[in-house]
Amino acid sequence: MRLWILIVAAVILSSISLFLGATNITPTDLLDFSSDEAEIFYISRIPRLVAIILAGMGMSIAGLIMQSLSRNKFVSPTTAGTLDAAKLGILISMLFFAGASYTQQIIFSFAFALIGTLVFMQILNRIKFKDAIFIPLIGIMYGNILSSITVFFAYENDLLQNIDAWLMGDFSLIIKGRYELLYVSIPVLIIAYIYANRFTVAGMGEDFAKNLGVRYKFVLNLGLVLVALISTTVVLTVGVIPFLGLIVPNLVSIFKGDNLAKTLPHTAVLGVVFLLACDIIGRVIIYPYEIPINLTVGVIGSAIFLIMLFRGRAYAK
């Protein structure tokens, strides 16, 4: 899997994404800045593309970081309760502050995502039975519990509709002014790149990391903060996108191995390609309507994950 092929694919899919939609826009329309087409393009299409690119990169990298830190291929924001914790955080902020401001939602969601992931990592430390399959099972269940708490409070406070909206990852609502939070992932990605080697080392275990002079606790916590930041920004702007952080890094690792510094660019770009492809499928199938992205990714992602599970057993033996 060569990087430039992925990049070319991303560029092609991006241009398809830009010119696909209920309003037919041709490149010549854009020359006239005052036309309706150009306005739609700048207010809706470009923000949407940027959102997909940032979310795709972000979620994939978040998954990659979690997998190196836990040394488990199947740990990701979907399978460690991170996304569910972020959702719970949004709900709590809405409960405490009537009509919580965006900033309040961000802070709560981030705090919960961070704490939620930390708690899971703590549970991991206590489990002696570190089976590759066992850990994500616990993680999924943990996410289910967090999610049922969210639904419970949502029911009691008549917020179920809002929560359902959060559940549905959806790019169709992305317009100018509603996605800029995602730019947070850019510095996060840069930090992730700088620290890539240290994440790999930290994943080898505390003793190993200390031996190589890596500040284990610091790197571990940094990794979790980055993951929580990405998850929060994605959940708040787009909604939940399941499986992305799980399957993209795994697909890359099948071809490129597990050296983070080497696989990070591939993972980021493949995340973009995958999400763009899913988004385009969702927009084409019932054109001019749209299928929310989390459904498309949910169907394709879970199917790919199942295949990976069976294949993983095939080559593990």
Site string for another protein, 214-253 (x = CB under 8 A): ----------------------------x-----------
Q: Which lies closer to another protein via its Cβ, residue 110 or residue 243? A: 243
By the rule CB under 8 A, 151 interacts with another protein = yes
If one asks whether residue 18 binds another protein (CB under 8 A), the answer comes out as no
**If we measure between CA atoms, which residue out of 139, 134, 143, 140 comes closest to residue 112?**
143
Per CB under 8 A, which region of 40-48, 156-164, 185-193, 211-219 contacts another protein? 156-164
The yes or no reply on residue 14 touching another protein (CB under 8 A) is no
Contact track, another protein, 49-78, x by CB under 8 A:
-------------------------x----
- Cα end-to-end span (Å), the chain: 25
Given a contact cutoff of 8 angstroms between Cβ atoms, the answer to whether 246 and 72 are in contact is: no
Choice between 43 and 165, CB closer to another protein: 165
Residue 242 CA, distance from chain mean position = 7
> Please, are residues 243 and 140 in contact by the beta-carbon 8 Å criterion?
no
Residue number with CB closer to another protein (194 or 254): 254
| Binding residue for another protein, selected from 5, 127, 194, 284, defined by CB under 8 A | 127
CB within 8 A of 233, min separation 6: which ones?
58, 106, 181, 182, 184, 185
141 binds another protein (CB under 8 A): yes
Backbone dihedral region for residue 132 (phi beyond 0: left; psi -120 to 50: alpha; all else: beta): alpha
Which DSSP category does 130 fall into? Answer: -
Q: Which of 15, 101, 148, 211 contacts another protein by CB under 8 A?
A: 148
Helix residue ranges, H only, the chain: 3-18, 36-40, 46-70, 82-96, 102-126, 134-156, 160-167, 185-194, 196-203, 206-211, 216-237, 244-256, 260-285, 293-316
Residues lying near another protein in the complex (CB under 8 A): 74, 127-129, 131, 133-134, 136-138, 140-142, 144-145, 147-149, 151-152, 155-156, 158, 164, 242, 285-286, 289-292, 294-296, 298-299, 302-303, 305-306, 309-310, 313
